[in-house]
């Protein structure tokens, strides 16, 4: 099963948003790829400079910053309002913990309590 961090959320109106509609194809792709990077590595929207530079050469990076989609920070860029639209690291880790606990409980229920006939036959 795919976990929550393997997805990014995009509103159906995303391509028509005023910050997005005028982007070049390269900037659009760099932005989406940056979102995927953040989701995969649970960075809460931070994209380190080497990664940002590999996603977007200077003109494209300037385009994304100028559109207000990326903001420069001391170590690269950060996706504007990332936590408002994407799950944060804390949310993903909490969901993973809950799913793990639920799976463990489900396994215990199938096996039965220690010392039971179900436990002995498993």
**pLDDT tens-digit map of 69-90:** 999 999 999 999 999 999 888 8
Would you place residue 101 in the very low, low, confident or very high pLDDT band (cuts 50, 70, 90)? confident
- The residue ranges of every structural domain in the chain are 4-112
**Residue 3, by phi and psi: left (phi above 0), alpha (psi -120 to 50) or beta?**
beta
Dist. CA 65–CA 41, nearest whole Å: 22
**Percent of the chain scoring above 90 in pLDDT:** 62
Q: What is the pLDDT of residue 104?
A: 72
Higher pLDDT, 68 or 117: 68
Tokens of 74: 């001391």
Q: Which residues pair with 46 in a beta bridge?
A: 78
Backbone angles phi, psi at 72, to 5 degrees: -75, 140
Q: What is the pLDDT of residue 112?
A: 65
- Which CATH number, 1.10.3580, 2.60.40, 1.10.10, 2.40.160, labels domain 4-112? 1.10.10
Residues across the chain: 122
Q: How confident is the model over 12-19, as a mean pLDDT?
A: 95
Q: How confident is the model over 101-111, as a mean pLDDT?
A: 71
- Would you say residue 2 has pLDDT above 90? no
Q: What is the pTM of this model?
A: 0.77
């Amino acid at each position: 099963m795919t976990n929550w961090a393997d997805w990014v959320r995009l509103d159906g109106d995303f391509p028509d948003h005023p910050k997005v509609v005028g982007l070049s194809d390269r900037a659009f792709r760099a932005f989406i790829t940056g979102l995927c990077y953040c989701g995969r590595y649970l960075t809460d929207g931070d994209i380190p400079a080497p990664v940002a530079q590999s996603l977007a050469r200077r003109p494209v990076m300037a385009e994304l910053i100028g559109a207000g989609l990326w903001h420069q920070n001391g170590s690269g860029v950060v996706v504007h309002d990332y936590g408002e639209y994407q799950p944060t690291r804390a949310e993903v880790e909490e969901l993973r913990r809950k799913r793990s606990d639920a799976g463990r409980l489900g396994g215990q229920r199938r096996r039965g309590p220690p010392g039971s006939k179900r436990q002995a036959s498993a």
